[in-house]
Every structure is written in C-alpha cells, then in structure tokens.
Amino acid sequence: MSHMKIIKISYHSIVACPLCGAAGVVRAKLSRPYYFFGTFSILLPEAGVHLCECVNCSLLYKDAVPSRSDLARIMSAVAADVWRPKSGIHPALVWILPYLHGQPKRILDIGASNGDLLAQLKPYASCVSALDVVAYPQCQSVVNKEYIIGEIEGNLVWSGEKYELVTAFDIFEHFLDTHVALSNIAAMVSKGGKLIVETGDWNCCEGELGDWYYANLFEHQIFWNQLAFDYLCNKYKFIKLDYKHVPHKGRRDLGVVKRLVMELVVKLAKFSLFQQTMLAAGKGDPLRFARPSLIDHAFVVLEKSHE
C-alpha cells in the first residue's frame, strides 16, 4: 500500500436519529476496518461503525461519524482528486426537464461543483445560482445570480430570494447536522417550487447491509428510504411528486467497454490481492464500485406546499 497513508481520526458517537431524534435499532456493522478516501486509509473506531435504523422515521444512520475538524481536513486534502468533473449531458437532465415547463425558473444547485448541471439548466432559467463550500472558477462563469459559499449545515449568507427549482444531487447522504441542512434547504424553495434530490436508498441494498459499498464510504453518514422522505415532507412542508429507484448517476450512461471493465473490477475487488494492488498503484479502493446495473438510488421530486 505504498501510496496509502494510514491515519487515525476522532469520531463522535450518534445516539439518536439525526432526522427526528428518536431511538435507533442496529441493523448491521460495517464489514471493513478502514475507510479509503483518496490517498488516505482511515481507521474506523475500535468498536467499529454500526448502521442503525430509526424506529420512527426509518432513516439509516451511522452510530459513529468523523469529527467535523477531521472530516474537513481530509476533504480539503483529497476531495478534488476523488470527485472529478464529468463531461457530457447530466444523467438526470431528461428527468428534470418536465419540471421546467412554462416561465423560466429561478434555479439553485446545491453542491454545484464545476457547474456542469447548472450550465445545462441555464437555457430554462431566468437566473442560476450555486451553493458550495468553495468557489469553482468554472461554476463562477455559469452563475448569473448568487454564488453562495458556505456549509449547507451552517449559517448561510444568501439573498433570501427563494428559488422555483432547487437541485441536490448526491448531497443528502453527507449530512451531519441534518435538521439544520434541511431547514436551510426548505427555506430556499419557493411555495409551489420543486426540490429535486438524488441519493442512495438503503432499502435497495442487495445482500448484507454492512457490505454495502455506499455505506462503507467515509463521506456518507446517513441513508434514506421512502419512509424517511415521507417524514421529511411532513416536517418541512413538502409534497412528494415522484420517487423512483434508479442506478447511481455515474453508472447510468456507461459505454459497453466501461460497463465490462466495471463488472470485472467489482468481481475482482473481492480478492484481497487485487484490492491491495489497486490501492498501491494509486487507483483507489476497488470496493467503492458497484455493478453497473445495480439500482440502489432514489430520484425524488418534492414540491413545497402552499401552506
């Protein structure tokens, strides 16, 4: 593991559901002793990490999460290498378009990164805004309203002008302070406006929950399902318009060769020698991949109620 740097971090224990505050029941224990993120091999706490299901809202959450300072330190060091920009048409664009009929919409993308999705939504918008923890020059050139820099789980400084479409792709699984994040997001959607989310659905997990690649990712803390979204709608005044199970957006438009390569990597990842070789070569953790045909995500469209 020549390229990997083994580090120990501090963890906070989570004793109640981050969404509703109720008690949880242990459903599984993460099967691996390390998280791998970029060039870091991150030790789990000695007791391991358990996945707990809330008895009230059915959100699945980890009973130990990285401290904010350690999480920020690791993210700032290697996140740009882990999450690279994707080219081509955004895989969800075709599903978003039906909600863009009529007047051009005020659009905000949360976790906008390089602004790839915003650029493709811009023709349907009266203005486009972005929210992220850091500014990306590419995104800056797309935004023509406000570029909100800050934590979705913090005290956000923004115009206060609400949006008719807010998109949040691969964001909802990262929340540490779920209530603050959702309160901030709900405040940004206008009455009758749409919130479009994509995130993992833990009810779709095949096999052992503790082996689910998605739960074994360092940056993922909570996992949703239909019941958890129903709770969200009730608490934050949304109406669920659509909820469909889909493959992760990164796996939706793979060409034949890439699909075959990914199938092979997933098969070989079970073998320790292959895993060590990939990590040593700086190619990352092969266990972070899933079968291209795996359907374990939810595409969710919520409408802010007029109450």
What average pLDDT does this structure show over 76-97? 76
Instruction: Classify residue 303 as left (phi > 0), alpha (psi -120 to 50) or beta.
Output: beta
Residue 295 — pLDDT band, cuts 50, 70, 90? confident
Question: Are residues 32 and 216 in contact, defined by beta-carbon separation less than 8 angstroms?
Answer: yes
User: Quick check: 213 pLDDT over 70?
Assistant: yes
173: which 2 tokens? Answer: 């699984």
pLDDT at 268 over 60: yes
For the chain, what are the domain ranges? 252-288
- From the list 30, 104, 27, the residue with the least C-alpha distance to 60 is 27
262 close to 220: Cβ distance less than 8 angstroms: no
178-188 helix and 226-236 helix, angle to the nearest 10 degrees: 60
Predicted TM-score (pTM) of this structure: 0.88
pLDDT > 70? residue 198: yes
DSSP 90: -
